[in-house]
Amino acid sequence: MRIEFSKMHGVMNDFVVFHDLKDAVKLTPEQVGFICDRRRGIGGDGVIVVRSSNKADFFMDYINSDGSYAEMCGNGIRCLAKYVYDKGLTTRTSLPVETRAGVKVVELKMGDSGKVEHVSVDMGRPIFEPDRIPTTIQAERVPILDYPVGVLGREFQCSVLSMGNPHCVIFTDESLADMPITYGPTLETHPFFPAKINVEFIHATSDHFLDMRVWERGSGETFACGTGACAAAVAGILKGAVRSPVDVKLLGGTLHIAWNGANSSVLMTGPAIEVFSGTLEVF
């Protein structure tokens, strides 16, 4: 099987992207692992297959590097938007994209070259109901903010919500370099989180700025997570640690997040970059 692909990233959260509008390609977890392997394959945090949709202009089929499927990927959907426009699959600069977390609307922003440089995404409303996150935490009130979760002899104050996929947001006074990311895999698989969970370690540096490191479900530590940045900003606003809009600084760059609270959608804006393109033989 020969695949014409593009290697892309959004703030260094990187993906192998290709389109299959006839739904002819089905990748096994082993094939995805090969593609994402940084020595044997192309290398990436995941694979994005652009497919046709009955509900929107395209469907984002996102697969983590371990072969598991994700409901949504904020950095990935920006890369998909750039891919379909720059490859001539659409001429629209505002388009709906179906994901496993529902339809998201993306707004494309062009650079001087006429190609897409930045993308804004309406990420939808945050989800706070425990059964929809999902979590088995029996909280007295919702949203779940600063709920104590103990792992490996340490207790963390966890704020739990969903941005289409589940997030555990932990605020800490530790610097970005010293954040306890090593607790990520244990928190990811904690019994409180039946579908596993993405874990964000956050340090508020001012009223409108957050530092963040992330342990992504199915991928491990990554340079960035778009839905995680949204979850961190929402949790920070609810806790009074920051005010909207919020710039979230990740290892790979900065994402701009705006949320007006209550029943408002979260708006995320960030770059989308194509690194190179090529052809891959997948066995």
Give the total residue count for the chain: 283
Task: List Cα–Cα distances, 209 to 202, 204, 253, 256, in angstroms.
Answer: 10, 6, 13, 10
Give the E-state strand segments of the chain in sequence order: 2-10, 13-19, 46-51, 58-64, 94-99, 102-110, 116-122, 144-151, 154-162, 166-171, 198-206, 209-216, 220-222, 246-250, 253-259, 266-271, 273-281
Distance CA 250, CA 210 (A): 9
Cβ atoms of 143 and 128 closer than 8 Å: yes
Cβ atoms of 123 and 257 closer than 8 Å: no
Active-site positions read 73, 225
